[in-house]
Amino acid sequence: MKTKSLVMVFVLLASLARAANVAPTVQIVSVAMRSSSTLMDVTYRITDPDDATVKVRALAFKDGVRSFANVIRPTTFVESTATNIGDAITTGVDHKLTWDVRNDWNIDLAQVKFEVLCRDSRGLLPINWFTIPATSNTTALTISTGVPSGSQVLDALFWMYADGDPWLSVSNGNLKGTAASGIFSNEVLVAGSSLQSGTPTVFLYKKMNICRATVTEKDLAISARSSISSPYDLSMYAVNRPWDESRLGSDSTAMTSTSINNRWVKYTYADGSITMSDRFNGVMWFFAPPGSDFFQADAFNYCYGSSYAGYHDWQLPTSDWLQFMYSQKGFFNVYTAGYISSNSGCMEYVHSTYGPCAVDFSNGSIFMSYGCKVWPMRRGN
Written as one string, the DSSP assignment of 223-234 is HTT-S---TT--
Report the percentage of the chain scoring pLDDT > 70: 92
DSSP string, 289-336: --SSEEEHHHHHHHHHH--GGG----BPPPHHHHHHHHTTGGGS---S
- Domain assignment present for 11: no
Please say if the pLDDT value at position 72 is more than 80. Answer: yes
Residues 318 and 229 in one domain: no
Residues 141 and 113 in one domain: no
Residues 158 and 115 in one domain: no
The Cα–Cα gap between 169 and 189 comes to 10
Total structural domains in the chain? 3
pTM of the model: 0.88
Q: What is the mean pLDDT of residues 199-213?
A: 95
Please say if the pLDDT value at position 136 is more than 90. Answer: no
Decide: residue 326, CB within 10 A, 0-12 exposed, 13-18 middle, 19+ buried: middle
Please say if the pLDDT value at position 157 is more than 70. Answer: yes
Please say if the pLDDT value at position 18 is more than 90. Answer: no
Beta strand 53-62 pairing with 86-90: antiparallel
Residues 110 and 189 in one domain: no
The residue out of 244, 264, 281 marking a domain boundary is 244
Residues 181 and 112 in one domain: no
Give CA angle at 247 (244, 251), nearest 5°: 170
Please say if the pLDDT value at position 9 is more than 80. Answer: no
Residues 187 and 236 in one domain: yes
Q: What is the mean pLDDT of residues 141-152?
A: 94
Residues 219 and 152 in one domain: yes
Please say if the pLDDT value at position 151 is more than 70. Answer: yes
Domain of residue 317, residue span: 291-379
- Domain assignment present for 310: yes
Residues 164 and 219 in one domain: yes
pLDDT value of position 353:
57
Residues 66 and 136 in one domain: no
The Cα–Cα gap between 92 and 186 comes to 40
Tens-place pLDDT, residues 267-308:
999 999 999 999 998 899 999 999 999 999 999 999 999 999
